[in-house]
Structures are given as C-alpha cells and as structure tokens.
C-alpha cells in the first residue's frame, strides 16, 4: 500500500511527528502513559510539569522515554504571578474575607470547618522544572501562560529542544515569533482549561476570540515565519480539516484527550465529559486565573457571588481543602473539571491512538472529497 504523504509537511518536519496533532499538557491528566500513547500513534504527546517537584519531572520524562522513542513535549506555565507567588499578606482583608465566605458556603458539605484565613504562599517550582527539562534535553518544550523570553528559547535550542508557545492573542503570537520560538499554538475561546495570556485580564477581555476568528488572524500574522497550531473546540477529523482549511498547520487538543483510556483524569471527569449536561463556564473561582470548566454548582454560585478571586494561584491555595475533598470523594460539582466548549459532542472514551489515527483518516477523507 502506498504511504500517504503527511497532512502537513511543514509541521511534521519541524516537530518530527507523523500526524499534525498535538495533545496539550494538562496537569493531573497528561502523565507519561497518555503522552507516550499519543507520540507512539504519530502525534505529539505533551506532559504537564505544572506544580511538580523537579525530581518528579525528571522521573516522568524518563518514564515517557521508556515508553516511546518518538518525540514528545513537556509543558509549564511562565506567567509572572504563577512563577513568583503574590504575597498573601499583601491582599486586603476584605478581599480574603469575601473569597473565603463564598468557599464557606460549600465547606459544610464535606464537614470542613469554615475559615477566613489567608492562604499560604504558593511555592515556585517553575525555574527548577525548566532546568530539569534543559538537562534532560527534551524534544519539545511547550510554554503556556506567558511568552518565553528569547534567552530561555535560546537555552532550549542549545539543548536541541524545539519550543512551542501557547498564545491567545495575535500580539502575543508576534512576540513569541520574535522571541525565536519554533511553533505557535493559537488558543481560541472554545479552549478548555486556562488560555495563555501573559497576565490576568478583566472578565470581558478574557472571553477572547473564537478559534474561527483567531486562527486565520494568527496565520496571517506569523504563519509566513513558522507553523501555527489551532487549539480550542477541535475533537475530531472534521475539526482538523476545518483548521487546516483556515491555514493552520495542525491542531492542539485538550478536552478530547481527557476522555481517553490513557488519560489520568478521574472517572467522574471522563463520565461527565461524555454523558449528561456538559455546558461550560469561564471562571476564576478555582485557581485565580480564568479557566473554562464544566458548569457546576460551584461555577454558578461563584459567578453570582461576585467576589474577586485571590491573585496568582492563591485562590487554589485558599480552596485547597474544599477542592481537594471534592476530588477525593468524586464530587463533580465542587472540583475544576476543565473542559472546552466542544465537550458536549463527546460520547466515548477511546484509546489515544484511536483519536489520532481516526482524526487523520477522517480529515483526509474530507479534504479529498
């Protein structure tokens, strides 16, 4: 049988992959098993390193290498507020009180005591993780929430690592291209989880542009220089074909890969993504940064309460007892079940390899027709 040419030679050449499909780094979801499965299927699997101790990052990279000889990536956030924790003592009393009062509404559900306490400062693990990635000479570094500085890009390049920058605006796409990155991933407003802005925006600005609007604009702005991946709302071959038609060189998927067999997401998350009510909401109530999650009692109540989220990731630290208990007990209303706007279209939990090959086959059939 003749070997089909790659759907997009430019991307497959830069990243040495066979399929123009990248699986997003996803904290708590994209562990070595999922990453290796996607890479073995010809896509680019990306491990999430956020909030991992450096020795865990190193061990995980080595586990991926044991499970695949294909290229893979590691993702971390670079946001200033995420790297350097804001000082909890500097937050005005009433801001802490209002945020904790909203969380107190739910604490009795898990027999947790109410509190108006300040959260502890979050620990900066980003620099240590970056050092491990450079030492381990990973094939691809994926930078989220913040455009990498040119000298960081240069250090990765010296280690033989390609750099992908996740961005949600054309301005950040231009800045990332100027910083020397190898690939841009443009995240439309449909995207699940946190989109990559360099700093937290006001709620109306954080809504962002849909993939249909952002992707061609990004292609026009930087596509002449480097490959552009489209992220947000793509879950199948139709989405891949559509994004290629818009000029993208490939796609980056999060939500679809959460509901796969190899994903480390909890069963309740996979089940909510594939059955029942799957509306999504943009909220800063779980972490302090805007993220798209499955709509829940928490997102409704937090939105109505109108309290300001604590800065950086201190909101996550403030609600750690509550969100942690919800996770432990499998409660689907009080933990962040990150999901993109296309979650409502999912109805199965396939293997990651079936996602990659099924998308390529379907996109080819559409593009041939």
Contact footprint for ligand FMN (CB under 6 A): 24-27, 29, 48, 50, 75, 144, 166, 187, 190-195, 231-234, 252-255, 258, 338-340, 342
The alpha carbon of 170 is separated from its chain's Cα centroid by a whole number of angstroms, namely: 18
Taking the C-alpha atoms of residue 303 and residue 297, their distance in angstroms, rounded to an integer, is 10
Select 129 or 322, whichever has its Cβ closest to ligand FMN.
129
Shortest reach from residue 361's CB to ligand FMN, in Å = 19
Which ranges in 68-180 belong to alpha helices (H)?
80-83, 93-104, 126-135, 150-158, 170-178
Token pair, residue 15, equals: 């990243």
Select 116 or 245, whichever has its Cβ closest to ligand FMN.
245
Q: What does the DSSP 8-state code read for residue 306?
A: T
Select 100 or 122, whichever has its Cβ closest to ligand FMN.
122
Select 164 or 307, whichever has its Cβ closest to ligand FMN.
164
Select 190 or 249, whichever has its Cβ closest to ligand FMN.
190
Token pair, residue 357, equals: 């090959």
Taking the C-alpha atoms of residue 177 and residue 183, their distance in angstroms, rounded to an integer, is 8
Shortest reach from residue 32's CB to ligand FMN, in Å = 15
Nearest to 353 by CA among 68, 66, 144: 68
Shortest reach from residue 105's CB to ligand FMN, in Å = 25
Shortest reach from residue 311's CB to ligand FMN, in Å = 19
Select 26 or 177, whichever has its Cβ closest to ligand FMN.
26
Select 166 or 309, whichever has its Cβ closest to ligand FMN.
166
Shortest reach from residue 199's CB to ligand FMN, in Å = 15
Rounded to the nearest 10 degrees, the angle between the axes of helix 32-40 and helix 54-67 is 30
Shortest reach from residue 26's CB to ligand FMN, in Å = 3
Cβ contact 191:231 at 8 Å = yes
Shortest reach from residue 294's CB to ligand FMN, in Å = 10
**Nearest position to ligand FMN, beta carbon:** 254
Nearest to 25 by CA among 205, 226, 185, 175: 185
E strands, 86-238, in order? 140-144, 162-167, 183-187, 193-194, 228-231
SS3 325: helix
Strand partners, 142: 75, 164
């Amino acid at each position: 049988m003749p070997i089909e040419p790659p759907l997009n030679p430019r991307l497959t050449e830069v990243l040495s992959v066979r399929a123009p499909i990248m699986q997003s780094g996803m904290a708590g979801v994209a562990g070595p098993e999922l990453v290796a499965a996607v890479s073995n299927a010809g896509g680019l699997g990306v491990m999430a390193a956020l909030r991992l101790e450096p020795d865990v990052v190193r061990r995980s990279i080595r586990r991926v290498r044991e499970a695949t000889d294909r290229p893979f990536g590691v993702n971390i956030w670079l946001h200033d507020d995420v790297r350097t924790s804001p000082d909890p003592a500097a937050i005005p009393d009433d801001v802490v009180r209002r945020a904790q009062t909203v969380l107190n509404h739910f604490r009795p559900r898990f027999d947790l005591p109410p509190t108006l306490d300040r959260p502890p400062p979050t620990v900066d693990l980003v620099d240590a993780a970056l050092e491990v990635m450079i030492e381990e000479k990973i094939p691809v570094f994926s930078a989220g929430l913040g455009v990498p500085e040119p000298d960081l890009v240069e250090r990765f390049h010296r280690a033989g690592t390609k750099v992908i920058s996740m961005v949600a605006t054309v301005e950040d796409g231009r800045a990332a291209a100027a910083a020397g990155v190898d690939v841009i991933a443009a995240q439309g407003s449909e995207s699940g989880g946190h989109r990559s802005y360099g700093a937290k925006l006001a709620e109306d600005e954080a809504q962002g542009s849909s993939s249909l609007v952002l992707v061609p604009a990004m292609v026009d702005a930087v596509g002449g220089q480097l490959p552009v991946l489209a992220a947000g709302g793509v879950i199948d071959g139709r989405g891949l074909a559509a994004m290629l038609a818009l000029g993208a060189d490939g796609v980056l998927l999060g939500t679809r890969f959460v509901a796969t067999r190899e994903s480390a997401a909890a069963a309740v998350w996979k089940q909510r993504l594939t059955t029942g009510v799957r509306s999504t909401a943009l909220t800063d109530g779980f972490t302090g940064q805007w993220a798209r999650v499955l709509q829940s009692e928490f997102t409704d109540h937090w939105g109505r309460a109108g309290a300001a989220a604590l800065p950086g990731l201190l909101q996550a630290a403030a609600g750690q007892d509550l969100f942690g208990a919800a996770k432990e007990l499998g409660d689907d209303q009080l933990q962040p079940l990150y999901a993109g706007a296309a979650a409502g279209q999912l109805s199965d939990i396939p293997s990651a390899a079936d996602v990659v090959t099924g998308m390529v086959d379907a996109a080819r059939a559409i593009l041939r027709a």
